[in-house]
Structures are given as structure tokens and as C-alpha cells.
A and B are shown apart, each in its own frame.
Chain A
């Protein structure tokens, strides 16, 4: 395998998908973040805190710029994991080209690392989280992600070991579902009470899930397209013993 090409296209695909995610978020998710921050500000003003609208507007522009940087870094990070999984899984994934194969892998990773964790611990806009519980909530989120991710990884090896057994197609997803239902029921809920309007919270969640889902699809398509073009798996130094 061409090591440098593999690393380069993996990081580039992640950076592009992440930058597009952040750009789309400016239009789709930001209005809800702004609305939620307005509620926070109204609460702060009501509590007698000083508030400078001009300074605040500049601060928000800075934060929205930060989102583009954050999207690119997040894209490269999730893209790195995706690249590794795709490189190992590619030979056993069905599909006539790498775009189709990559979309299948991205779909599974979206389910395991985004959708299922989001069902248990959904995204929240500003005005919801309590700073006092941040470490506890981060621990819960990582723990749930880890249960989901490592179960899927372990089961992928089991799936491969089961060879041509037809029952694996039902058995392996069934075991994963059982583990996740147990974790869903067994793990404590998000401790924070939601005082912001539920309408706002729910539309924010739908908007954020929509753009994150787009991100995973783009990540798959972009890395698949690079892979089809540059074929990093093909050239390898074959040592003759």
C-alpha cells in the first residue's frame, strides 16, 4: 500500500468533508444556536449582569469562524478513523467501486458512532448544559460511544471468522442490537434539566443530526472518489524472499 498517499487522501477527505459541514452549519444549525444564546443572554441580563451588544456581536463572529476551524479538525479526526476502518474493511465490502464501498462503511460508522449515541445522549443547544456537570456528561458520552464502537469492532471480527455461515447476517447485528439496548436502558440519562423551549431544542437536534449525517455521507463519497483515482492499495513493495 502507498503509505503517504493513503494518509494524505484520508486527511484531505476528512478536512474537505469537515469544512463543508461547518459551512453548511452556518446556515442550517447556527440560527438555532443564536436563538439559544439569546435566551442565555436574556437570563444573564435579568440576573443583573453587564452586557455589551457590540462586543458580543464581534465575539459571535469569532466563534462562527472557530466553527470552520473546528469542522476541519473534526473532519480530519473522524476521517482518520474512517480511513483506517475503510482500509482494513475494503477487500470484504461488496460494491463495484470504492465510492460505493466507502459509502457502506461510512453508513455503518454513522450508525455506530453518531446515530445510536445521539439517540441516548442527543445534541443540545446552548442554554441547556449545566457547567457543573460537564465532566460527568462527557464521561457518559464517551462511555456510550466506546460501548457502541468497540462492540461493533469486536463483532466485525466475529463476522469475518464466521466465514460463509448465512446466519451471521442476522446473528451479528442482533448481538449488537442486544448490547446497545442493554447500554441504552442501563446507562444513566443526561442529568441536566432542560429549561429552554422544547421546540427550539428539538429543531436544533434535527438540524444538527441532518448536517452530521450529510458529513458522514460526504466523507464516504470523497474518500471513495480519491481511492478510485489514486488506488493507494495497489502499489506495494513486494519483497522477494
Chain B
């Protein structure tokens, strides 16, 4: 095999390896994005929404999650009350 051909091949392999090593698995991105959205909603925004799925309308009065996460909501800068 000629020298230029060897160089060409090794560059090709190097490119493939770099791609395989640096690619971020999509499934991990999906899982982490899901956790992020759910967690931020729960801690920062829920006003009874999640509990209302089981509890119905009274959940919006009790706002269990709002009250439980109340102090962190204020401390982390989320709008509250």
C-alpha cells in the first residue's frame, strides 16, 4: 500500500474513532432532560397540579408541593406566593 493511501486510511479511522468516543448517547440526553423538566416543575412551579391528578380540585387549595418546597423556591429565586 502506498504511503499516501496509508495516511488517508489512518485519518479515516481516526475520524471514526473520535466520533465514536465523543458522541453523547441520545438516551442519556433524553433521560436527563426528562428528569430536569419534571424536577424543576415540581420544585419551582407546581401549584397543586401534580396532586390534582389523584386528589382533584382540593389539591389547588392545599398546594402540598408548593408548601413543602416553599423555602427552596424562595431561596433559589423562583417566583412564589
Nearest residue (CB) in A for B27 is: A3
In the assembly, what is the distance between CA of A70 and CA of B35, in Å?
Answer: 14
In the assembly, what is the distance between CA of A83 and CA of B30, in Å?
Answer: 12
Q: What are the interface flags for B46-76 relative to A under an 8 Å C-beta threshold, 1 for contact and 0 otherwise?
A: 0100000000000000000001111111111
Q: Does B21 lie at the interface of the complex (its beta carbon under 8 Å from any beta carbon of A)?
A: yes
Chain A contributes a number of interface residues (CB within 8 A of B) equal to 61
Contacts A87-B24, A126-B81 given; does A77 touch B71 at CB 8 Å: no
In the assembly, what is the distance between CA of A126 and CA of B42, in Å?
Answer: 19
On whether the beta carbons of B67 and A121 are closer than 8 Å, the reply is: no
Q: Does A107 lie at the interface of the complex (its beta carbon under 8 Å from any beta carbon of B)?
A: no
Interface of B, secondary structure class, is helix
On whether the beta carbons of A70 and B71 are closer than 8 Å, the reply is: yes
In the assembly, what is the distance between CA of A7 and CA of B33, in Å?
Answer: 11
In the assembly, what is the distance between CA of A123 and CA of B79, in Å?
Answer: 7
A residues near B27, Cβ cutoff 8 Å: 3
Q: Does B6 lie at the interface of the complex (its beta carbon under 8 Å from any beta carbon of A)?
A: no
Q: Does A35 lie at the interface of the complex (its beta carbon under 8 Å from any beta carbon of B)?
A: no
A residues near B78, Cβ cutoff 8 Å: 123, 138, 141
On whether the beta carbons of B71 and A1 are closer than 8 Å, the reply is: no
On whether the beta carbons of B72 and A129 are closer than 8 Å, the reply is: no
On whether the beta carbons of B79 and A80 are closer than 8 Å, the reply is: no
Q: Does B80 lie at the interface of the complex (its beta carbon under 8 Å from any beta carbon of A)?
A: yes
Taking a contact as CB atoms closer than 8 A, the residue among B20, B31, B40, B76 that contacts A238 in the complex is: B20
On whether the beta carbons of B21 and A233 are closer than 8 Å, the reply is: yes
In the assembly, what is the distance between CA of A11 and CA of B78, in Å?
Answer: 21
On whether the beta carbons of A122 and B25 are closer than 8 Å, the reply is: no
Write 27 A-B pairs (CB below 8 A) sorted by A numbering.
Answer: A6-B28, A25-B71, A33-B75, A63-B67, A66-B72, A67-B70, A67-B71, A67-B72, A70-B68, A70-B71, A71-B72, A77-B37, A78-B40, A84-B28, A84-B32, A88-B24, A91-B22, A118-B77, A121-B77, A125-B74, A126-B70, A126-B80, A130-B81, A134-B47, A140-B79, A208-B76, A238-B16
